[in-house]
Chain A
Amino acid sequence: MEITLKKPKNIKTKNIIITIVYYFFLSVGALAMLLPFFWMLSTSFKFENEIFAVPIKWFPSKLTNFNFKRALEVQPLFLQMANTFLLALLKIVGEVFVSALIAFGFSRFEFKGKNVLFMILLATMMLPYEVTMIPSFIIWTKLGLTDSYVPLALPAYFGSATFIFFLKMYFETFPKDYEESAIIDGANYFTIFTRIFIPLAKPALITISLWSFMGTWNDLLGQLIYINSESKYTIQLGLSTFSSMTGEVLWGPLMAASAIGLVPVIFILLFAQRYFVEGVKMTGIKG
């Protein structure tokens, strides 16, 4: 028998007030998040003399595409973005899948030395890479593999500590009984991993894919050290040319180029966020 309750009027108004408050706070925060981006974008369209005008000019009085033209003249930004995409792609496949594999091992199994190994994993994130950077560079130079994407991409195929750590914690939110029934049915661990855990972990996997992509997109120092040829330049290297050694910064073109560099990442983000919709999962395993 169904019982329908009619919502009394004051609960309805309460809900409306909650909704308004909710959106208000959310929007104020969102505005704060967006303002710096807005300035970046608006600066890209300003003439040089308006960039640091006093008082601030929010909207350029005259739009100009001079900065964009200049930026693209100075650097083949689209080629550099393509290169970065290539490098990101090479890394994602390794980083995401292999990290998941390893995290699975750390979270669902007990074996001798596991805790020690996991602490070592955490420890590798604690030593600043600036001090291991040059020894690594020396090794890669001896191997003759500099001026390529190999030093940057190959380690990805052995997992990335941050991602492994995150996925391990994420897997720990799954109840034990997820594998139990599958084991009883005789499935081997690899199948359990691919058939059960991977699909269930989609949002987490999307998260680390996004991180992996952004990590590649934003990494200046690593790419600078290992890439020599201009044809292999990534977007960060291209952007770095807008500030010179002597301290002169081309603000307009720099903002324009940075804005161009952000576009692909925002698109990917828009695409990825769909997977974070709250699910309708229930406790208990589906048959």
Chain B
Amino acid sequence: MDKKKRRAGFLFVLPWIIGILLFTLIPMIAALYIGFTDWTIIGNAKFIGLKNYQDIFKNEDFYQALWVTVRYAIFAIPLTIITSLVISIFLSKNRKGVGIYRVIYYMPAIVSGVAVAIVFKWILDPTNGLLNSILAIFKIKGPDWLYDANWVLPSYLIMAVWGAGGGILTYLAALKDVPQDLYESASIDGANNLQKIWHITIPMLTPIIFYNLVIGIISAFRKFTDAYVLGGIGKEGNFYMIYLYDRAFSQYEMGYATALAWILFAIILALTLIVNITKKYWVFKAE
């Protein structure tokens, strides 16, 4: 790539670099430093070196919160990506009325996290809630959902699937660009619908799947809003961010909380790097 082109590329990216320097760098450096102090937000900050990190690794609440989050991520990420993909493929055809369906499936993603949580609080109510009432019609006694330690994770997974429609726009946007004649020549070669999807649609979508995977990892580990409203019996709803938030704003231990944040950062970064490395094995670049 010639020098002029390289410089042009750099110029395109420049606004972001300036933005980082102006708005992100200083707060992040501050956050790095805070992680080494005992800052209480309203009080002074004293440098304590690695003590926060040492305390974190000795604290069973940390491991518990990490476990709740990892367990959720393991299930939620593949579940939402596959659901999202399947729905998108369904909705990419130009059948009658599909526009309305697109809106309907995307709607869960437009509501604010708090509103969703409040509505699901009712849906998942063991006595009176929508879900158990529907199960009762089929003569099934629904579990206590958020009040039963074994059902807290499934409760959150149900919410995740309900909101899975959020990814459909990304897939639909890319699907729109899949050239029609590829499908036509495949038909001529005798491919059926499923084969077309597997050999044409999905490969063309792999860059978008990569995007959703990375975003999925980040959001699963940073899960907060609905858990904040709903909790979950005992510490089953104690996701990592809930734990962090509590230490930061209820216990006024911002130093400790910031250290927690950096650990989370490291975990997410590591996972993303791994996914990034595997990228060349499964993400197709056009043509």
Q: Which of B69-77, B144-152, B167-175 participates in binding chain A?
A: B167-175
Complex contacts, A55 vs chain B, CB 8 Å: 128, 133
How far, in whole Å, are A225 and B27 apart by their CA atoms in the complex? 16
Residues facing A in B237-272 (CB within 8 A) are 241, 244-245, 248, 254, 257-258, 261-262, 264-265, 268-269, 272
Task: Report B-chain residues with C-beta under 8 Å of the C-beta of A210.
Answer: 169
Contact A273 B103 (CB under 8 A): yes
The answer to whether A169 touches B207, judged by C-beta atoms less than 8 angstroms apart, is yes
**Known contacts A111-B9, A279-B177; A126/B218 CB under 8 A:** yes
Is B15 touching A159 in the complex (CB atoms < 8 A)? Answer: yes
Contact A135 B26 (CB under 8 A): yes
Stretch at the interface among B46-54, B56-64, B111-119: B111-119
Cα distance, A16 to B115, chains bound together (Å): 40
Cross-chain contact A123 with B99 (CB below 8 angstroms): no
Query: Which residues 179-226 of B sit at the A interface, judged by CB distance below 8 A?
Result: 179-182, 204, 207-208, 210-211, 214-215, 218, 222
Q: State whether A164 touches B16 (Cβ < 8 A).
A: yes
Taking each of A123, A258, A276, which has the highest tally of chain B beta carbons within 10 Å of its own beta carbon?
A276
Interface residues of B in 101-134 (CB under 8 A from A): 101-116, 118-120, 122-123, 127-128, 130, 133
**Selected contact of A117 from candidates B13, B115, B245, CB within 8 Å:** B13
Residue in A139, A158, A218, A266 whose CB lies within 8 Å of B26: A139
> Given the interface contacts A33-B107, A166-B170, does A131 sit within 8 Å of B179 by beta carbon?
no
| Contact among A34, A119, A207 with B169 in the assembled complex (CB-CB below 8 Å) | A207
Choose, from A5-13, A35-43, A59-67, A70-78, the stretch at the interface.
Answer: A35-43
Interface size class of B (residues with CB under 8 A): 35 or more
Complex Cα distance, B257 from A127, in Å, reads: 12
A193–B173 CA distance with the chains assembled, in angstroms: 18
Q: A262 near B: Cβ within 8 Å?
A: yes
Given contacts A165-B214, A214-B110, contact A127 B105 (CB under 8 A): no
What's the dominant secondary structure at chain A's contact region? helix
- Residues A123 and B179 in contact in the complex (CB < 8 Å), given A170-B207, A172-B286: no
Q: Closest approach, in angstroms, between the C-beta of B130 and any C-beta of chain A?
A: 6
Would you call B174 and A173 a contact (CB within 8 A)? yes
Looking at the assembled complex, report how far the CB atom of B13 sits from the nearest CB atom of chain A, in whole angstroms.
4
Given known contacts A158-B23, A207-B173, is B104 in contact with A30 (CB within 8 Å)? yes
A242 to B5, CA, bound (A): 55
Given the complex of chains A and B, what is the CA–CA distance between A217 and B110 in angstroms?
9
| B9 adjacent to A270 (CB under 8 Å) | no
Q: A126-B269, A134-B254 are in contact. List 11 more A-B contacts (CB 8 A).
A: A30-B104, A110-B9, A111-B1, A120-B20, A124-B28, A126-B272, A127-B31, A132-B27, A214-B110, A279-B180, A283-B287
Which 10 residue pairs spanning A and B have beta carbons closest together? Answer: A158-B19, A109-B9, A105-B12, A175-B287, A135-B30, A203-B173, A132-B27, A218-B112, A105-B13, A169-B207
